[in-house]
Homo-oligomer: A and B are copies of this chain.
Amino acid sequence: MKIKEFYPDVMRHKRQGFPEAIYAPGKTIKQIISVASKLLKGEGPVIVTRAEKSVYGKLKKKFPKAVYNESSKLVVLKKGNVPRSKGYICVVTAGTSDIPVAEESSIVADLLGARVERIYDVGVSGVHRLFKHHDKLVKAKCVIVCAGMEGALASVVGGLVGCPVIGVPTSVGYGVSFKGVSAMLTMLNSCAANVSVVNIDDGFGAGVIGSLIAKK
């Protein structure tokens, strides 16, 4: 059988304020281009997630305006024309290894109109590093916390601020980190009532939610 063309949800950005993203793993360049071409006709930014550098190279030929962020593996094919939020969100990481996930959140939230403040490498094994940023944190509309290993940072941040905190467990760690599951459990059990959680390494989802809150 010949699989007919793909029909991405071109209207999603108009309907919901955020677009369908093109998740690259497991798709051929041909499939990505086919989907992207349709999405480019809709509103909002057009984003390819988790794209290896070689994928970007091939997309660049077809879409010369494509821009690549190596850390987060995002390819941005179109920025869209999105109004900027008044308030800002913070994107926080426990360690340096969590930065790729955090960058996915930061860039996506920025593309969707949120102002973003990055606060990286402030984990709880030296918690004084976090407190330096206290004033910035308490004025944010939303804080996204990316942390692997034991993921304790989300609760500590949750106890400081009066806004929603989005926990993004990362797959950083070894042994019983279980590729992010332990960090996820930590965040889901948070004693801070303002913490909710997305899937492991789901920087995209957290960025979307952060931007929706920033723009309220």
Contact = CB atoms under 8 A, between A and B. Distances in A.
Contacts of A123: 191
Interface size of A as a range: 35 or more
A170 to B, nearest CB: 10
A66 interface: no
A126 to B, nearest CB: 4
A175 interface: yes
Contact of A175 (B69, B161, B188, B216): B188
B193 A205 contact: yes
Contacts of A71: 3
Given A71-B3, A159-B126, A198-B196, A189 B208 contact: no
Interface in A167-207: 169, 171-178, 180-202, 204-206
A78 interface: no
Contacts of A17: 162
Interface of A: 1, 3-4, 6-7, 9, 12, 15-18, 20-21, 25-27, 31, 69, 71, 87, 94-97, 99, 103, 106-107, 118, 120-121, 123-127, 129, 141, 149-152, 155-156, 158-164, 166, 169, 171-178, 180-202, 204-206, 208-209, 212-213, 216
27 contacts: A1-B69, A1-B118, A7-B129, A16-B159, A17-B162, A18-B193, A21-B193, A26-B172, A27-B97, A124-B155, A124-B156, A125-B155, A127-B127, A149-B191, A150-B185, A150-B189, A163-B212, A173-B189, A174-B201, A175-B189, A176-B200, A182-B189, A189-B199, A193-B209, A196-B209, A197-B197, A197-B198
